[in-house]
Amino acid sequence: MKKYLTLIAAALLLISACEFDFTPKIDSGPKLFVKCVAMNDSICAQVKYAAPSSDAQKIQNVSAAHLELAVNGQTFSIDLDDNGTGTAIKQVKEGDLISINAGMTGLNDVYGYTGMPGLPEISDVKVENNVLIDSISYTVLHLKTDRKPDPDDYYAVHIIEERTMTFPDTLIVDTTFVRAMIQSGDDGVPEFASLNDNNGLFPFIKAPVILFPASAFKHNECALSLLSFGFIFPDMTLRSRYKLLVSKVSEEFYLYSMSLYKSSGDILATLGLAPPQFAWSNIEGGLGFCGALATIETDWYE
């Protein structure tokens, strides 16, 4: 009986599952892709040729592209390497307006701007360890500020974990947790993005990062939970300590990061069964983003 059922199921699968190729007509053209991230002491920029996906052969070298940056209207040029990337050493302070202008023969000039946020005011970090069940634990990091953050602020927190296990030898492992989450906010859990690496957003470090709005703070405290898997054996000692890179990011930085986060792995949208993926952009005439972040590094906490 089982054999017949298997045969029937296989026959049904053969009839129904059908993959075929087609040539889509895509409404798109070549554009400049610009990524500009301003930090307290430097501005990183990247210019790329974004070929239409209907004909990726048309990718062109961007060495001929020109790029102009400005801080509060004072312009300066930046040299791009072969990858179209360049860094300008420049002190940027809270409230400064950073703008970018780029162009390339045959393509539209593109333009974008952002405002520099102030440094985050983290006064204390408390670590709370919990065990959920045998192999699953979660750690809560309580971030405290001196005053309630401005509702229009956005944050990015890189979490660097150093886990020391002694069983029977000492082993040090970095960042074992699988996902960082926001626990609560003034009006419930706000929308946040949890990325296991940078997605190329942050020029200075590769580590798990969580982005969230100021509404994740309940009064002046924000609780981040880190979910970890790992067996704890009877003779084993385990010690974790954490260091955070806390950034206040511009709204443009936050919106672009969130759109990348939402579109990554959105299977339903990829299959056309959910609203479409889109990358937020503040680059007029092109693609990409211009954003800013101000970062502080905390001590180690355990």
Partner 1 sequence: MRRLGEKIALLVLLLCAHPAFGQNTEQNEMRDTLEKATISALQSDTRKHNTTQTGLIRLNPEFLKSSAAVFGAPDLIKSLQMLPGVAAGNELMSGMYVHGGDGTDNLFLLDGVPIYNISHFGGLFSSFNTDVVNSLDFYKSGFPARYGGRASSVVDVSTKEGDLQRFHGSISIGIADGRVQLEGPIVKGKTTFNFGYRRSWLDLITRVGLSIANKGSSNKVDAYSFMQDLNAGITHNFSDRSKLRANFYWGNDKLKAGLTSADAVSLALNIKWGNMLASAAWDYRFSKNISSTLTGYYSKSDSDIGYDVSLSQYVMADDIISDIKDLGLKYDFSWFPHEKHHIRFGAEAKHKWYDFKGFQSGNGSNIRMEAGNEMALYAEDEMFLLSSLTLNAGLRYSLIATGSKLWHSIEPRAALKWRFSNNYDIRASYTRMSQNEHLIASSYIDLPTSCWMPSNEEIHPVISDQVAGGIYMRPVKNLRLNLEGWYKTMDHLLSYKGANSLFPPVANWEGNFSEGKGKSYGMEAEIGWDAENFTITAYYTLSWTLRLFNEMYPGWFYDRNDNRHKVNLLGTYRVGKFEFTANWTWHSGNRITLPSNVLDDGTVLYDKPFNSSLPVYHRLDLGINYKDTFRNNSHFTINLSVYNAYNRKNAYFAYLTPSSGGKAQGTAYSVIPIIPTLSLAYDF
CB of 83 to partner 1, least distance (A): 8
Compare residues 162 and 191 and give the one whose CB is closer to partner 1.
Answer: 191
Q: Is the peptide bond before 168 cis (omega within 30 degrees of 0)?
A: yes
**What letter represents residue 2's amino acid?**
K
Strands 287-301 and 31-38: parallel
What single DSSP character describes residue 222? E
Please report whether residue 275 would count as binding partner 1 according to CB under 8 A: yes
Asked if residues 252 and 111 have their Cβ atoms less than 8 Å apart, the reply is no
Helix (H) or strand (E) holding 268: helix 267-270
> Which residue(s) pair with 175 in the sheet?
none
Please report whether residue 262 would count as binding partner 1 according to CB under 8 A: yes
Compare residues 176 and 183 and give the one whose CB is closer to partner 1.
Answer: 183
Compare residues 159 and 182 and give the one whose CB is closer to partner 1.
Answer: 182
- If we measure between CA atoms, which residue out of 40, 42, 96, 41 comes closest to residue 248? 40
| Cα angle: 92, vertex 159, 301; to 5 degrees | 105
Compare residues 137 and 295 and give the one whose CB is closer to partner 1.
Answer: 137
CB of 142 to partner 1, least distance (A): 12
Q: Which of residues 82-121 bind partner 1 (CB under 8 A)?
A: none
Per-residue contact string for residues 227-246; x = within reach of partner 1 by CB under 8 A: --------------------
Per-residue contact string for residues 141-180; x = within reach of partner 1 by CB under 8 A: ----------------------------------------
Compare residues 94 and 186 and give the one whose CB is closer to partner 1.
Answer: 186
Question: Which contacts qualify for 232-237: CB closer than 8 Å, 24 or more apart?
Answer: 232/134, 232/135, 233/167, 235/167, 235/168, 236/165, 236/166, 236/167, 237/165, 237/166, 237/167
Q: Which of residues 179-198 bind partner 1 (CB under 8 A)?
A: 181-185, 187-191, 193
Compare residues 17 and 172 and give the one whose CB is closer to partner 1.
Answer: 17
Compare residues 50 and 119 and give the one whose CB is closer to partner 1.
Answer: 50
Compare residues 7 and 268 and give the one whose CB is closer to partner 1.
Answer: 268
- If we measure between CA atoms, which residue out of 34, 26, 27 comes closest to residue 286? 34
Q: Coil, helix or strand for 5? A: helix
> Within 10 Å of residue 178's Cβ, how many Cβ atoms?
15
Asked if residues 256 and 195 have their Cβ atoms less than 8 Å apart, the reply is no
Within 13 Å of residue 72, how many CA atoms lie on the same side as its CB? 8
Terminal CA-CA length for the chain:
61
From the list 86-94, 111-119, 269-277, 294-302, the region that binds partner 1 by CB under 8 A is 269-277
- Distances in whole angstroms, Cα of residue 79 to Cα of each of 63, 112, 150, 184, 232: 10, 18, 36, 44, 52
Q: Determine the size of the site formed for partner 1 (CB under 8 A).
A: 67
Per-residue contact string for residues 27-66; x = within reach of partner 1 by CB under 8 A: xx-xx-x--------------xxxxxxxxxxxx-------
Please report whether residue 300 would count as binding partner 1 according to CB under 8 A: no
CB of 18 to partner 1, least distance (A): 5
Applying CB under 8 A, the residues found at the interface with partner 1 are: 1-2, 5, 15-28, 30-31, 33, 48-59, 133, 181-185, 187-191, 193, 223, 225, 261-263, 265-281, 287
